[in-house]
Structure formats: structure tokens, C-alpha cells
Structure 1
Amino acid sequence: MKLIGYFRSSAAFRVRIALNYKDIKVEHASRHLRKGEQRAPDYVALNPQKLVPALVLDSGEVLTQSLAILEYLEEIHPEPPLLPKDPVGRARVRALALIVSADVHPIQNLRVMAYLRDKFGQTEESAFAWSRHWIETGFEAYEATIAKDQRTGAFSHGDTPTFADLCLAPQVFNAQRFKVDMARYPTIQRIHAACMQHPAFDAAQPSRQPDAEL
């Protein structure tokens, strides 16, 4: 398999963590989002959304959307699991993952910020303020959901990583870039620290990718 991503992409970050956690070996390739390489015709043929990641299977099939890719990896490599065994637990984990992946990340990513600047004349500072607002809104909900729930353990659900943590950790990286005051979210901070001590998360972080711009 081949994973096409970008070192700073939160969505690609999620998939890299899952691949590491399940010890699935893939070829890695990159499309530089700031240079517009995702809009090249050969990539658009693979992923008409012009987004990363894309997972190219050995069969030639192409999977897109990070959560769909995570579900696929969980099905073909169920061990070690990234979803709880009980249906309610699985629903909780998916809901936490969606707070980040559906309600926060899409409205503060690169193309949205570029649209704010190019079409509405927003400055870099005001575009950053937009992003901070939506990250803080999502983190307030995430923190309130996990802070006093007995199902929260070392990680967002129990004592092993789940889809929720795979979405949360990359978003914390974004929050730091946008100067979010993380002291307001102590449970998220604690879980993020636990995540980044795990080899699967550490190896997947942006600075450790071959295409990273230091």
C-alpha cells in the first residue's frame, strides 16, 4: 500500500498513527499542500477532492477520507484494536473523533484560511483568530465530555489509544500553532502527553516525516 499525505496534514497524521500502531508497512509519498501539488491532474484522478490523505491499495483501489481509512485498517488489521469491543463504547469513541474531525478541523484547515484571506480580505491575524475560535469551541466540548466520565482513562476512552486519540493529538498540534491556551483543557493536555509518549504517535508527528520543513 501507499499513503499519500503531507507532513503537516492533521488527517494524514491520524492515518500515520494507525499504521504505526498496527505495525502496517506502507510506502509513503507526499503532496505539498502549500505549493498546490494536490491539484495536479494525476492526483485529482486519484482523489477528486484534492485533499490528503489517500491510501492506494495493492489492488489499485484508492481510499480517501481519514476516518474511512481508519475504519478500513481496523477491519483488515483488528489487532491491536483502536475501537472498544462494546457498541456503546465504540459509539462514544466515534463521537469524540467526530468532534475534532467533523466539527473543528474542516473549518480551520489550510484551504478555509486561504479562502478567508483571498476572498474576504482577512489578515493572517484575523484568520488565526477564526481558527482559534473553532478549535476552542471544539476543545471545550471535548474537555467537558471526557473530564468527569469514568470511561476516560490514560487516553480518551480507557487505557489504550482509540480513534478519538488519533484525531485529538494532531488537533492539539494545530492548537499550539494557532496559540490556543491549552491550560484551559487539562484533561486534553494530560491525554495528549500520554499520546506523544507512545511510539506510534511520536513517529507519526510532523517533524519526523521525510517531507517536513524544519
Structure 2
Amino acid sequence: MSDTILHGYWRSSAAYRVRIALAFKGIAFAQVTHDLRAGDQHDPAYRAIAPHGLVPALEHDGRILIESPAILEWIEAKWPQPPLLPAAPDAAAKVRTIAALIGCDIHPLNNLRVLTRLRSQFDATNAQVKDWIAGWIGEGFGALEQLIARDGGAFAYGDTPTLADCYLVPQVYNAERYNIDLAAYPRIRAAADAARALPAFAAAHPDVQPDFS
């Protein structure tokens, strides 16, 4: 088995981000799946790895890392080539801004445990949950569209892939999965399409993962 092991789930946005980065860097890794729909993330054996009971977790040479932002920053520091962060501090901050907008402001409000709580504690219907998802994606994408218009090029930031694209592509996948109309966000769509055309991003797509179901 590879000395790099990714604990994840094929449809997890956060695990998708990490798969992209590892593939982009050319790092071989093994995958261990934890079916979020079945509640595998709550198993005590996995909680010993990731006490918060979320994916992904990354094991490498005896180290265990959790939380995708920290994992992605570690990957960039560990394997700096090819880079996913610009060298210039101002540019790197702008890339991290896009990543944070998605990773902090959009995705957490729409992850499985939040949607489950809406249904179980507040009796939200499927239509109400979909409206919740669409509302938060729409609010975030409205801001994101402006950031990409300001600093994007062929990709979310500039003309080479960055960590911003590692976050953007999974979030666009989620929006498409919920049939959210992206016509109002042409720059988001163009950046996502450019990234998804790259082999590393294609290899990380949920539909081609070994645990896809």
C-alpha cells in the first residue's frame, strides 16, 4: 500500500479537493472509503484517526492530518512543484480568499450533517432543503463571480490552476448535482470547465473513484 492514504468518500467535496491536489502534484495515494450515508464516519476506529468524524483525513509516513484546508496547505508545502499557490504574497492571498469563500462560507452550510439536522430537528422537506442549498450557493457564487471577474484568467485566479480551482470544481459539482442554474455565473462555469479538462482534475472526479456508487 502507498505510504500516502486518503480517508474519504467519493462524493465528499472536501475529499474531492484533496484528490485534485494529490493528482496535480503527481503523488500516488491509496484510498480508504468511509460511507457517509451509512454513518461510517462515526465508527470508533475512524474517530481514532479523525476525532471530529469528518472526511478527509490524510495519513503519510505515520502522520495523520485532518481538515482539507490544512491538508491542502501541507501538500503544497511538502510538494511545492508544480505550485498551487502563486509566489507573490498578494496573489497567494487572493487565491486563499477564493478558497475560503467556498470552504468557509458556502460548503459548511450545505454539508451532510447540516442537511440531516435540518430534516431531523426542523422537519424540513426536500423542497425546503433544496431551497436552503440553492440559497447559500447563490449568495456565495454571486461574490465568487465578481472575484473571478476581477482576478481570474483561464482559471479561477490567473492562467494556471491554483488552490482556488481545487475548491471551485467540487463546489460546482455540488451545484450541478442539485440542478442549480449556473447561467448567471459565466466566469465560474468557464473556470471550472477549464480546470475539469485537465487530467488531474478528471482523475479526481467523484464518478471515477473506486467507491463510486
TM range (shorter): over 0.9
1:145 aligns with 2:150: no
Where 1:211 maps in the other structure, the secondary structure is: coil
Partner of 1:26: 29
Partner of 1:61: 63
TM superposition shift of 1:19: 0.4
How many Å separate the matches in 2 of 1:176 and 1:157? 21
Q: Is the 8 A contact 1:132 1:179 kept in 2?
A: no
Q: How many residues align?
A: 210
Q: What TM-score results when the alignment is normalised by the length of structure 1?
A: 0.97
How many Å separate the matches in 2 of 1:203 and 1:162? 17
Structure 2 gap ranges (5+): none
Partner of 2:165: 165
TM superposition shift of 1:138: 0.5
How many Å separate the matches in 1 of 2:87 and 2:182? 31
How many Å separate the matches in 1 of 2:173 and 2:152? 21
Structure 1 gap ranges (5+): none
Partner of 2:7: 4
16, 19, 27: which one aligns with 1:16: 19
- The Cα offsets for residues 171-193 of structure 1, whole Å up to 9 and x where unpaired, read as 00100112211011000000111
CA RMSD of aligned residues (A): 0.7
Q: What TM-score results when the alignment is normalised by the length of structure 2?
A: 0.97
Where 1:62 maps in the other structure, the secondary structure is: strand
Partner of 2:91: 89
Q: Is the 8 A contact 2:10 2:16 kept in 1?
A: yes
Equivalent residue runs for 1:33-112 within 5 Å: 33-58=36-61, 60-112=62-114
1:185 aligns with 2:185: yes
TM superposition shift of 1:156: 1.2
How many Å separate the matches in 2 of 1:212 and 1:152? 32
Q: Is the 8 A contact 1:11 1:66 kept in 2?
A: yes
Give the partner amino acid of 1:24. I
TM superposition shift of 1:159: 1.2
